[in-house]
Amino acid sequence: MTAERQTINSLDELLSLYGQPAKASLTKELDYISPHYQQMIEKSPFAVLCTVGSDGLDCSPRGDEPGFVRVQSSKTLLIPDRRGNNRLDSLRNLIEDHRASLLFLIPGIGETLRVNGTANIIRDAELQQSFAVNNKIPVSLIEFTVEKIYFQCQKALVRSKLWEYDYKITRDQLPSTGEIIKSTKSDFDAKAYDDAYPERLKKTLY
């Protein structure tokens, strides 16, 4: 630790470093889903759902065809809970604490969309059926009530070059999922797991 190190512990200290927010960053924030924000949601095939519970915070990827998160009203979103590994981290948290956030990404677009609010887990046969894919319906839906919604500027995605093809990482540059599991369970057959995964993915996608 150096003598120059400083921990920022107050809002006054923070604002003295960064100053006041730009006016546009505040005026873009709404408490309802505007037509423009609805267009962004309907073009997005991917979102990150953030929740909090007694075990801490969780961020869970959610993805499907563009518009898989449905705008039900100017204040309400519906998210199908597709088949997963049954850890249920997000859903467990929502049982305890209804606060939640969403971050929408749209391939090729620099802006992201941030949504804060509350969420409940619901079951409604008719609504669930309306989300069916390949005749498989989600076990439940997440009903998200919007409290704040606003777009985030392009800077993060421009800096990261996320959508630039030349920066795409090939899968062989990272350990396989089987290898990762084997590192925590020595008798695990990583090769068999990896070889079987493509077919298993097809059968369990929905």
Token pair in block for residue 184 = 């925590």
Rounded Cα gap, residues 103 and 32, in angstroms: 16
Q: Rounded mean pLDDT of 67-73?
A: 97
Q: What is the CA radius of gyration of the chain?
A: 20
Residue linked to tokens 């990150």: 48
47 CB-contact burial (10 Å; exposed 0-12 / middle 13-18 / buried 19+): buried
pLDDT digits (tens, 9 = 90+) for 25-57: 899 999 999 999 999 999 999 999 999 999 999
pLDDT digits (tens, 9 = 90+) for 104-141: 999 999 999 999 999 999 999 999 999 999 999 999 99
Please tell me the pTM assigned to this model.
0.93
79 CB-contact burial (10 Å; exposed 0-12 / middle 13-18 / buried 19+): buried
CA max distance for the chain: 63
Structural domains of the chain, ranges and CATH numbers in brackets: 22-162 (2.30.110.10), 169-206 (no CATH)
Whether the predicted pLDDT of 70 surpasses 70:
yes
Residue 108's region, left for phi above 0, alpha for psi from -120 to 50, else beta, is left
Rounded Cα gap, residues 63 and 173, in angstroms: 24
Give me the percent of the chain exceeding a pLDDT of 90.
93
Question: For residue 2, what pLDDT is reported?
Answer: 62
Whether the predicted pLDDT of 1 surpasses 70:
no
